[in-house]
């Protein structure tokens, strides 16, 4: 028996992958314990990423929402990050922090807009 047939509950893989429904325990293992992406899980199981996403919701498996990456950035002072970016550039700083450069850009933009919103008017 191949992996795709073994991991899908109550369904046998057919030509149309729309009928494949991922198994709850396997989804928990792949998504939460192994931190695999929805896209990667879909490729492994031979079904669409939408099917995996809907199964995660149906089984009430909470989304990770990339919390690990955001929390890495929150450890650093905004002034420090901006100084490092000026010296090394977005790509180098993002690489050193282990995040994508777009993630770093969005974090800087979001943090700066929040700091402007926090200024109170007397």
* 0.75 exceeded by pTM: no
Residues spanned by the domain of 106: 67-117
Please check whether residue 74 lies inside any domain of the structure. yes
Q: Which residue has the tokens 């899980």?
A: 41
54 & 18 share domain: yes
Please check whether residue 102 lies inside any domain of the structure. yes
pLDDT tens for the chain, residues 1 to 122: 444 544 554 343 444 445 667 889 999 999 888 888 898 999 999 999 999 999 999 999 988 765 454 457 888 888 999 999 999 999 999 989 888 898 899 889 888 887 665 544 44
87 & 113 share domain: yes
72 & 50 share domain: no
52 & 9 share domain: yes
Please check whether residue 13 lies inside any domain of the structure. yes
pLDDT at position 82 is 92
Among residues 35, 41, 45, which one has the least CA distance to residue 7?
45
49 & 85 share domain: no
Please check whether residue 122 lies inside any domain of the structure. no
41 & 71 share domain: no
The pLDDT tens digits for 66-86 are 545 445 788 888 899 999 999
What total of structural domains would you count in the chain? 2
Cβ neighbourhood burial of 108 (10 Å; 0-12, 13-18, 19+) = middle
Q: Report, in this order, helix, strand and coil percent for the chain, each rounded to 5.
A: 65, 0, 35
């Amino acid at each position: 028996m191949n992996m795709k047939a073994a991991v899908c509950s109550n369904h046998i893989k057919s030509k149309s992958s729309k009928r494949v429904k991922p198994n709850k325990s396997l989804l928990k293992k792949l998504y939460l314990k192994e931190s695999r992406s929805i896209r990667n899980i879909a490729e492994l199981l031979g079904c669409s990423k939408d099917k995996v996403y809907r199964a995660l919701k149906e089984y009430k498996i909470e989304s990770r929402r990339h919390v690990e990456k955001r929390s890495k950035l929150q450890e650093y002072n905004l002034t420090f990050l901006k100084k490092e970016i000026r010296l090394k550039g977005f790509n180098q700083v993002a690489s050193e922090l282990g995040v994508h450069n777009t993630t770093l850009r969005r974090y800087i933009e979001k943090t700066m807009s929040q700091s402007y919103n926090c200024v109170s008017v007397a």
